[in-house]
Structure 1
Amino acid sequence: MAPPLSYRPKPGEIPTTPGVYRFRDENSRVLYVGKAKNLRARLSNYFAPLRTLHERTRRMVTTASSVEWTVVGSDIEALQLEYTWIKEFDPPFNVKFRDDKTYPYMAITLGDEAPRVLVTRNPRIKGAKYFGPYPKIWAVHDTIDLMIKAFPIRTCSDSSYKRATQSGKPCFPGQIGRCGGPCSGKVTLEEHRAMVNDFISFMAGNDRRFVTDATKKMKEAAAAQDYESAARYRDRLQALEAVLEKSAVVLNDSVDADLFGVEHDELSAAVQQFLVRGGRIRGVRSWTVDKELDLSTAELVDSILQRAYDGAATEVPKEVIVPELPEDAAELETWLAEIRGKGRVKLKTAQRGEKAALMQTANVNAKNALQLYKMRRTADFVARSQALTDIQEAIGMEQAPLRIECYDVSHLSGTNIVASMVVFEDGLARKDHYRRFSIPSSTDDTDSIYQVLTRRLAYLREPETVEPTVDPTTDEVVADDVKRKKFAYPPQLLIVDGGQPQVQAAQRALVESGRTDIQLVGMAKRLEEIWLPDNDYPVILPRNSEALFLLQRARDEAHRFAITYQRTKRKRDIASVLTEIPGLGPARVKALLVHFGSVAAMRDATPDDIAAVKGVGPALAQTIADTLSSRAGANSR
């Protein structure tokens, strides 16, 4: 590795114009590609004092041995060049997309003499019109089966079409009425092309016109007693309505938009893309992202949009709705408009109304996808084994930590202090071994950690129960089985949520308990650093390592378990205080809880605020306020 920042250029050497920069290592491998409206201003951020940089940014600039830049004429050119270089060099510190899915599309081959509809995963068929992507391949087949009943366009292969054209006999779909028959002359190529155009128009969102038309013709045929034609129109109408039922109406009929829900943590992100055409969700796509540098949601959006419209089969809509607008939103709009090829593209956020509600749905799906992604990595046996081995090597343990215990503390402004203990054995959560702790009083989080671990470690000093095992054939004792309580199993690795202060507090509890066989680490959430006792520098695990994913899962589970218990205690305490007040029954207590959420909020409220709750009059509101005030005074003494 080169000496830290020895390659730093002089400030006067860096231009102030738009451009794209590349960090390279000593082997000339491109580590990171970025763009800037002002190269000098952007690069100066990387060459700030190392202690002020985010840990992963610091690792990137200290790994690099050179930086180079290319000046371009405009911000949009910088965006395009960055996009090209990221694809060409695949830099390890740029965002990594982990989309292992090739989504199925519905494609109409408009370049053919007689266009056909097919299911494909190839997004680059020349002259084809695409719809989707669909989450499952059966969803595409179901849609095509219904659409063919309304618009009987060609579905046969090119070889079948050529053979039918030469013989003059319709192909099999034509024989069973699932194709108009352009191959055998049942319909002309012009009539078939018209049906294809109607097919595309319906799928693109212009659907109500066809439903209205089919309904009108069915009634006219029935009135004329042409029942055979009426039946055909009826079947067509039913097929159209069945397709519409499968596409949920979420927005106004005129809305064409893509919505991107994003959920991310320090290392990973999940993206959920909803394709809305004609106010209906016509396609859904999701993928995961691995992050190397610390990126905000707005910065992630930049990379996500480049990924989403990289050779996409689906056209760019008029609106692209994202959680946060990136700094170069205007340049992205120009770039997307060039891809779309017609009209402007508006990049925006959804603040209220139906679009905001749909965006919330996309975000919920992204959150679930991120949890699933992390759980699958943890659940894989090979991955778990590798994670335990990596942890062993990273922190210098003699053996892999087959039992891991992780602790977290939760409180609300110093009240209702609780802690959690979660257990992972062989890399899997053992929920039957979880424990919760109530802490009557504490000075701070480090004191809480010390108290909890002192109480937990005391159980390891309890004598073990020895029970004899008897041979049923001879009634003789053949072995002595040691029976342990679940709480008495010692961990090989003990994790506390926090940095050096929390680790020192936990170490004091371990020393006082006489346990020298338990490895202790702290996990600082902000930078995902691993702190060891009596070590001035943290251990930094690779961001994609299975070890870090396992430790993250243990830490997040401890946090979830602690805060769930803390909320339960808080609700119980609120209810117990309120039920002591004369005149308050269960219904009124529930209404007050819903309205204020906590006793603390109610203490700050005036009697008039309390009287605003349904079912609480002025006199009862004054009683509640006086009772809570006196209770607060008693607690402060």
Structure 2
Amino acid sequence: MDLLQKIRTLPTSPGCYLYKNAEGEVIYVGKAKNLRSRVRSYFLQASQANAKTGSLMREAVDVEYITVDNEREALALENNLIKQRKPRFNILLRDDKTYPYIKLTMNDRYPKVFVTRRLRKDSSLYFGPYFPGNLAYRLVDLIHRSFLIPSCKVDLSRYHPRACLQYYIKRCLGPCVEGLTTPEVYKQTIRDVQLFLEGKPNELEQALTKRMAEAAENEQFELAARLRDQIVTVHQMNDKQRIATTDNEDADVFGFHYENDMLAVNLFHMRGGKIVDRRDFFWEELPESLSDTLNDESALEAAPRWEPDPLQSAPDISEEAPVTQHSGITELGGSFSPAAFFSALLKQLYLDQGYVPRSILVPVDFPDRALLAELLTERAGHKIELAAPQRGDKRSLVDLVCQNAKQSYDQRFRVLQPSIKAIQEALQEALTLEELPRRIECFDISHIQGAETVASMVVWEDGAMKKADYRKFQVKTVTGVDDFASMREVVQRRYKRLLEDNKPFPSLILIDGGLGQLHSAYAALEEIGVTLQPLASIAKREEIIYVHGQEDDPVVLDRRSPVLHLVQKIRDESHRFAVTYHRKRREMRDRDSELDAIPGVGPRTRQRLLEHFGSVRGIKQAGHDALTAVVNAATAEKIRRHFDGEPITRDIGVPIIS
């Protein structure tokens, strides 16, 4: 039975599915409300040439499934299977850092207290986790000194002939030697430690005070002094707790920064309203392990993607996509789906944890957020808030963590940034330039279906963008959608002017586009007699650099290469500048056309109105009296009638038929 036939036999119940390759290795694990429908959808996605889904389906030769009763069970099972099988098409948690707990071995004859990072079902009591990690060690040391619980690794299941040094310096009750203490006294001490770790200082203080008074009355002054010291310790810990505690509940806050197919995630642990610790996660090969289509919910595929901010990679204006920005996050189409990522990450982080904070804040929403919150609430025994705040203090906190994630990204992936001269030398070698590139001029075209076609030229010189030399162009001789002809016109106009003014040419002309734009730019230079000018282009998606004269051997740089980052930076700035100018031209066109439709409003009147009211909207909202401060009463009447939708009459009283 081939794979497609097997998929037709899958049940329609909830469960998990496991894709296997020819070697029998599990390469992907997913969950679904309807196993048959979800697994069958992979063939449709693969047929539509989705890169990552196509890669998965080319390797998959078999599929197994496990049915469960509901989605929550599928969520938990998926997490367990991913951690057991480690399939390479799933997002895998690379950071295995865990926070410590304090363990109280209640089943031993003489229980001990120590720090552990692993929870076991062994009838012991576990307290924590503690943030930062050294807090657990400090508390255990305090317990050893104050409550005299042994800190050694001596076997207490039997008695020994003599006690160690800790007993003689009064740091241990000495349960290892028969007669030094009694099981009843030791049991009471363990009860005190339990109250201390459970955060019940009042109950513990009352018990210690009562026993101290009894010891003093019985003239057991050493015991009374030890109990007094324990009361002082409880007081000190209680005071510190009151200082650190506010009305805020415990929370974990996430932020991320994604760039050049690399991802940095920061997790801030807040306890009692204070940031007590942070964790850093990094993924360097994320596209190989995560695709937004490799998820079991169709809604996830429509979730926002992330791209860098416009200074790094501006959206194509021709698509007219809506843009929503916060903390440098742009919700547009792209290869990275933060919704899919955080859906996978949070399951691995929290489903197996003994302690989950009451509030978890993430920078983006994802489809199974409510389901995961419900499952965590059920396991924790109290309500867990899993939120993606959009405004207010919580959003500000998420933005702060995103900023720190950006810093973590820079420290991890850009810490060895070479000097500008080293980058110039590397660029010269990569593009086989005759001289060191000191000045680069980059061009880009922007339009919407051929309307208001404009171009931009930005300049990089000696290590920095030189904004004083930026230029904007209106494309004059091209009608309709023709990026090649537009590029040819702009390049020719730019360098024909330099020739006429006898000014030097740049070290390199960079074109935003592929081979078509590159050849168009060279044709423009050839027409004005320039044939030896270094010329290159960079294709947007593939990030391949084509050098004129070497088109058959394009330059493919490592995605972490500082040279590639420099070229991308210049290209992206050119794109941003072109998009900004294009939007301005559109606004001017729309503004001019509306005011030009009013009889009696010419260019000078229009300019005075816009300078006075600031915008067409301001003119629309202005009353007759306000308008007469700029124009005469008759023109003010025509303007008001135009915006009120009433017919406009000439001075002779004849309505104007438009």
Deviation (angstroms), 1:512: 3.9
Counterpart Cα distance in 1 of 2:42 and 2:613: 45
Q: Which amino acid aligns with 1:35?
A: K
Which aligned pairs between 1:361-510 and structure 2 lie closer than 5 A?
Answer: 361-370=397-406, 372-373=408-409, 376-380=412-416, 420=458, 431-432=463-464, 437-443=469-475, 489-490=507-508, 496=512, 500=514, 504-510=516-522
Q: Which amino acid aligns with 1:431?
A: G
Q: Which residue of 1 aligns with 2:539?
A: 522
Deviation (angstroms), 1:315: 1.4
The partner residue of 2:282 within 282, 288, 300 is: 288
TM-score, normalised to structure 1, is 0.58
Counterpart Cα distance in 1 of 2:204 and 2:631: 62
Counterpart Cα distance in 2 of 1:420 and 1:567: 13
Q: Does 2:555 correspond to 1:555?
A: no
Q: Which residue of 2 aligns with 1:585?
A: none
The partner residue of 1:66 within 40, 58, 61 is: 61
Q: Which amino acid aligns with 1:377?
A: F
Q: Does 2:618 correspond to 1:606?
A: yes
Instruction: Provide, for residues 297-340 of structure 1, a one-character-per-residue CA deviation record: whole Å limited to 9, x for no partner.
Output: 3322321122213644x513455444455434455346435654
Q: Which amino acid aligns with 1:301?
A: F
Deviation (angstroms), 1:296: 3.3
Check conservation: 2:105, 2:112, Cα contact below 8 A.
Answer: yes
The partner residue of 2:348 within 296, 299, 307 is: 307
Distance 1:133 1:139, change over 3 A: closer
Distance 1:336 1:553, change over 3 A: farther
Instruction: Provide, for residues 39-84 of structure 1, a one-character-per-residue CA deviation record: whole Å limited to 9, x for no partner.
Output: 23323432226574433333333x3242424150333343344323
Q: Which residue of 2 aligns with 1:107?
A: 102
Deviation (angstroms), 1:89: 3.0
TM-score, normalised to structure 2, is 0.57
Deviation (angstroms), 1:274: 3.9
Q: Which residue of 1 aligns with 2:309?
A: none
Deviation (angstroms), 1:21: 2.7
Check conservation: 2:511, 2:517, Cα contact below 8 A.
Answer: no
Q: Which residue of 2 aligns with 1:85?
A: 81
Counterpart Cα distance in 2 of 1:58 and 1:171: 66
Distance 1:336 1:509, change over 3 A: same
Check conservation: 1:19, 1:69, Cα contact below 8 A.
Answer: no
Instruction: Provide, for residues 578-637 of structure 1, a one-character-per-residue CA deviation record: whole Å limited to 9, x for no partner.
Output: xxxxxxxxxxxxxxxxxxxx99995144379899xxxxxx999997999xx99xx9xxxx
**Cα RMSD between the aligned structures?**
6.5
Check conservation: 2:20, 2:62, Cα contact below 8 A.
Answer: yes
Counterpart Cα distance in 2 of 1:625 and 1:58: 65
Identical aligned residues as a percent: 21
Q: Determine helix, strand or coil for the equivalent of 1:285.
A: strand
Task: Give the number of the structure whose alpha-carbon radius of gyration is greater.
Answer: 2
Q: Determine helix, strand or coil for the equivalent of 1:17.
A: coil
Q: Which residue of 1 aligns with 2:328?
A: none
Distance 1:72 1:103, change over 3 A: closer
Counterpart Cα distance in 2 of 1:323 and 1:296: 12
Counterpart Cα distance in 1 of 2:204 and 2:7: 66
Instruction: Provide, for residues 379-425 of structure 1, a one-character-per-residue CA deviation record: whole Å limited to 9, x for no partner.
Output: 4589xxxx99xx99xxx9889x99897958699998998654568xx
Q: Does 2:153 correspond to 1:158?
A: yes
Check conservation: 2:431, 2:547, Cα contact below 8 A.
Answer: no
The partner residue of 1:336 within 348, 359, 376 is: 376
Deviation (angstroms), 1:442: 3.1
Which aligned pairs between 1:528-547 and structure 2 lie closer than 5 A?
Answer: 530=544, 546-547=559-560
Distance 1:495 1:505, change over 3 A: closer
Counterpart Cα distance in 1 of 2:185 and 2:497: 86
Distance 1:461 1:328, change over 3 A: same
The partner residue of 2:265 within 260, 271, 287 is: 271
Q: Which amino acid aligns with 2:386?
A: K
Q: Does 2:327 correspond to 1:327?
A: no
Check conservation: 1:123, 1:311, Cα contact below 8 A.
Answer: no
Counterpart Cα distance in 1 of 2:460 and 2:158: 67
Instruction: Provide, for residues 128-149 of structure 1, a one-character-per-residue CA deviation record: whole Å limited to 9, x for no partner.
Output: 63534646x666667777x669
Q: Which amino acid aligns with 1:555?
A: Q
Q: Determine helix, strand or coil for the equivalent of 1:523.
A: coil
Q: Determine helix, strand or coil for the equivalent of 1:273.
A: strand
Deviation (angstroms), 1:293: 1.3
Which aligned pairs between 1:27-66 and structure 2 lie closer than 5 A?
Answer: 27-48=23-44, 52-61=48-57, 63-66=58-61
Deviation (angstroms), 1:531: 8.0
Q: Which runs of 5+ in 2 are unaligned?
A: 211-224, 293-335, 476-480, 526-530, 585-609, 640-658
Distance 1:188 1:278, change over 3 A: farther
Q: Does 2:333 correspond to 1:297?
A: no
Check conservation: 1:523, 1:529, Cα contact below 8 A.
Answer: yes
User: How many corresponding residue pairs?
Assistant: 516
Q: Which runs of 5+ in 1 are unaligned?
A: 1-5, 218-226, 424-429, 463-484, 572-597, 612-617
Q: Determine helix, strand or coil for the equivalent of 1:440.
A: strand
Check conservation: 2:46, 2:53, Cα contact below 8 A.
Answer: no
The partner residue of 1:348 within 372, 386, 404 is: 386
Distance 1:329 1:200, change over 3 A: same
Counterpart Cα distance in 2 of 1:27 and 1:454: 58
Distance 1:277 1:21, change over 3 A: same
Counterpart Cα distance in 1 of 2:231 and 2:622: 63
Instruction: Provide, for residues 519-544 of structure 1, a one-character-per-residue CA deviation record: whole Å limited to 9, x for no partner.
Output: 532123xxx6658699999x9999xx
Q: Which amino acid aligns with 1:361?
A: L
Counterpart Cα distance in 2 of 1:379 and 1:282: 26
Distance 1:318 1:288, change over 3 A: same
Q: Which residue of 2 aligns with 1:19?
A: 15
Distance 1:509 1:415, change over 3 A: closer
Check conservation: 1:329, 1:347, Cα contact below 8 A.
Answer: no
Distance 1:442 1:372, change over 3 A: farther
Q: Which residue of 2 aligns with 1:580?
A: none
Q: Which amino acid aligns with 1:171?
A: Q
Deviation (angstroms), 1:96: 3.3
Distance 1:379 1:58, change over 3 A: farther
Deviation (angstroms), 1:171: 1.9
Q: Which amino acid aligns with 1:33?
A: V
Check conservation: 1:419, 1:562, Cα contact below 8 A.
Answer: no
